[in-house]
Structure 1
Amino acid sequence: MVTVKRILEISLPRKQSAFLWGPRKAGKSTYLKQNFPESIYYDFLKTDVALEFIKGPALLREQLMAKDEMSLKRPIIIDEVQKVPEVMDEVHWLIENKGLRFILCGSSARKLKRGKGNLLGGRAWQFEMFPLVTPELKDIDLLRALNHGLIPDHYLSDDYKMSLQGYVQDYLKEEVFAEDLIRNIPAFARFFDAVGYTHGELISFSNIARDCGVDSKTVKEYYQILADTLLGRLVEPFRKRQSRQVIMRSPKFYLFDVGVAGPIIKRQITETRGEQYN
């Protein structure tokens, strides 16, 4: 299988921990396993492991204190940490009292906050894993990037359409609906359809609100949810100083991966010209 060397570098000095955030399938877990192959690794994507620590967060401290000194000199990896926010107090204690280092990996800091998770109060550096970027690809195929997107598995695969469709559906289900982040599911589903069309465009909150059957404030909250779950970014207009016209200026919204917009708006770009390409 083709692999791509990522340009992200995580080098932690003594007693320094870190968060590694990024959307699903961006390559976080693969990166950590490749770069820290001898580290102690907890994967909370495994249901039995997650349930074990939900029931008894202190088990993390007990298990680590039973490890040999050499193992504890390497960063300890906790993957999908947002699924078990209860362990964060134990992580905090181990950092402060035992000088251990952690790399805490996940797809949403919002879930930790909602679960009353301890975000370590500035004790951990912040890193973010994006989909593939130009320096990581020797000869980027622009048309392929626009259609497949730059999530590693999608960009490198010839059979990408079903994967992209499933990815969009999984995010709707897992990252938003299953987390009870919104109450009006039909309205949010209509909003999500509109997101693909507003990718890279100035946002008209009032127009989208009218189409979704909600008010503008709710639409702004929906966009913030997408930003918090790392599905995209709001880019505010640049201004040197405040002015009376500032409230009239709209931000732009960019999905984290251009390929994700394709299945939402049923778009397929066949040539490097035309309105869709531009």
Structure 2
Amino acid sequence: MIKRILEETVKTALTRNASVALMGPRQVGKTTLALDLTETLPSVYLDLESRLDLIRIDDVRIFHLANEGKLIVLDEVQRIPEIFSEIRGIIDQERRKGNRYGQFLFLGSASMDLLQRSGESLAGRISYLELFPINVLEYAEDDQEKLNMLWVRGGFPESLLAESDQASFEWRLNFIKTYLERDIPMLGPRIPAAALERFWTMLTHNQGSVFNASHLARNLDVSSVTIARYLDLMTDLLLVRRLKPWTFNTGKRLIRSPKVYVRDSGITHALLNIENHNNLLGHPVVGMSWEGFVIENIMSILHTRAQAYYYGSPGGAEIDLVLEFGNGENWAIEIKKSFYPKLSKGFHVACEDLKPERKFVIYSGNDTFFLGEDIMAISISAFMKLVSKKS
């Protein structure tokens, strides 16, 4: 079993908050992480997709009283968002007794923003964390073979640890089918599965592109409003990322639409019918797949350290990823699927506009070296370690 970096963060959050919400897509490992915690903490676990567990929690006050002093773990909590108003009263009652921390752990498969809207009554009583698929530091470090496997199969545990590429590929196809035919309808939106699958696949063909609703709408024969609704849904389910554009204080005309990525590289490859590393290397999406993979790995260790953007101008000045840290410091990151990275003129022009404190090229190799005086070529694992140490 792979030790998840976020486990210690969840433990710490429970010592500082009455409740913690751990979000992430289905099958990403939330339940496994939570059950690991329950082995060291007095606790009780309920799966709210189980009819019996739903009955048990029907009166949450009585259930809490029967399990006083235990951490109550509620899995798939987005199914009953009305429970948060009741839990607020329980938390406030426990506060008056002097019990302020570690009472509830919520697990959910929708976005933190979606749960926050449902759980507004817990303001000041809850901390939100996101569990990403398994990342490079958790699995691959500087092992090139493992890195390639993680990239091809993605970070969902059952896909990554499957006995073969074929078994991994079949798991991901079933994951996609289950989301489209069961999980999304269960959350309420009435969207034809075939239409949503075409949209999801279209995003993979346009991985890392600036979002153009009109272009997608024409290709799918729906309205731009419908496309925007599809994107909102896939973003809320933590399956797609909208990377915001940098639009601050440069005095330049900049692109203001987000870039869109299918978040897990393995899901990207399954939607494109790419089964193994050799198939991927010969596919037109290889460069943008690597870019999305790197960005998602970096996002998995950012937490509150930095905000992430891309920088682009109509004239071609572009930076793949800009990290803005809390002290106002900016890092510019270019991402290249090459052992011998070369930078475009657009990156240099963009850096002249932005004036970042540090410049990096994340490439496929393991060595660290300088390209010119101030641009560091670095591996994804070394860069993630560098960010992790940044306060």
- SS at structure 2 position matched to 1:131: coil
Aligned to 1:40: 44
Task: Output the CA distance in 2 between the equivalents of 1:239 and 1:134.
Answer: 30
Distance 1:192 1:182 in 2: 16
Which residue, out of 135, 138, 154, partners 1:136? 138
Of 149, 160, 165 in structure 2, the residue corresponding to residue 155 of structure 1 is 160
> CA–CA distance in 2 between the matches of 1:15 and 1:200?
37
Question: 1:233-253: CA deviations, max 9, x gaps?
Answer: 10022122487955x543211
Deviation, 1:142, is 2.9
Q: Residues 258 and 211 (structure 1 numbering): CA distance in 2 closer, same or farther, change over 3 Å?
A: same
How far 1:195 moved relative to its partner? 2.1
When residues 33 and 5 of structure 1 are mapped into structure 2, their CA distance, relative to the original with a 3 A threshold, is same
The answer to whether the 8 Å contact 2:56/2:63 transfers is no
Number of residue-to-residue matches in the alignment: 266
Structure 1: 5+ residue stretches without partners? none
CA distance change for structure 1 residues 60 and 245 in 2, over 3 Å: closer, same or farther? same
Q: Which residue of 1 aligns with 2:5?
A: 7
Which sections of structure 2, spanning at least 5 residues, go unmatched? Answer: 288-391
For residues 23-38 of structure 1, what are the structure 2 equivalents within 5 Å? 23-37=25-39, 38=42
1:268 CA displacement: 3.3
Q: Within 2, Cα distance between the matches of 1:266 and 1:168?
A: 12
Judged with a 3 Å threshold, the aligned counterparts in structure 2 of structure 1 residues 273 and 266 are, in CA distance, closer, same or farther, namely closer
1:99-140 deviations in Å (ceiling 9; x for gaps): 3621111111576578x6555124201111000111111436
Greater mean deviation of Cα atoms: 225-234 or 214-223: 214-223
Q: Name the residue aligned to 2:262.
A: 255
Q: Determine the structure 2 residue equivalent to 1:211.
A: 219
Q: 2:94 aligns with which of 98, 116, 133?
A: 98
The 10-residue stretch of structure 1 (25-34 or 6-15) with the greater mean CA deviation from structure 2: 6-15
TM-aligned CA distance change 1:149 to 1:82, over 3 Å? same
Q: Which has the higher strand share?
A: 2
Report how far residue 221 of structure 1 moved.
Answer: 2.2
Kindly report structure 1 stretches of 4+ aligned residues shifted beyond 6 Å.
none
Distance 1:82 1:177 in 2: 14
The verdict on how the C-alpha distance between 1:112 and 1:27 changes in structure 2, with shifts beyond 3 A counting, is same
Q: Deviations over 1:8-62 (max 9, x none)?
A: 1211226531111011111111001112223122221212222554xx3xx2211
Q: Is the 8 A contact 1:232 1:255 kept in 2?
A: yes
Residues 17, 127 of structure 2: 8 Å contact kept: no
Contact 1:143 1:269 in 2 (8 A): no
Letter in structure 1 aligned against 2:272: I
1:196 & 1:273 partners in 2: Cα distance? 16
For 2:385, the equivalent position in structure 1 comes to: none
Q: Specify whether residues 154 and 76 from structure 1 end up closer, same or farther in structure 2 by C-alpha distance, changes over 3 A only.
A: same
Task: Using the TM superposition, name which of 263-272 and 203-212 deviates more.
Answer: 263-272
Please state if 1:267 is matched with 2:286: no
Which is further off, 160-169 or 83-92?
83-92
Partner of 2:239: 231
Alignment of 1:181 with 2:183, yes or no, is: no
C-alpha distance in 1, partners of 2:148/2:244? 28
Aligned AA (1:4): I
Q: Distance in 2 between matches of 1:244 and 1:213?
A: 35
Q: Distance in 1 between matches of 2:35 and 2:182?
A: 24
SS at match of 1:48: helix
Q: Measure, in 2, the Cα distance between the counterparts of 1:183 and 1:268.
A: 28
1:260, distance to aligned residue in structure 2 (A): 0.4
* Paired amino acid for 2:185: F
> Does 2:207 correspond to 1:199?
yes
Which structure has the larger Rg over C-alpha atoms?
2
Query: 1:86 pairs with 36, 59, 82, which one?
Result: 82
Counterpart of 2:198 (choices 179, 182, 190) is 190
RMSD: 2.6
Question: What is the alpha-carbon distance in structure 2 between the residues aligned to residue 224 and residue 241 of structure 1?
Answer: 28
The 1-side partners of 2:263 and 2:121 are apart by 24
Residues 191, 244 of structure 1: alpha-carbon distance in 2 compared, 3 angstrom cutoff: farther
How far apart in 2 are the matches of 1:120 and 1:13?
17
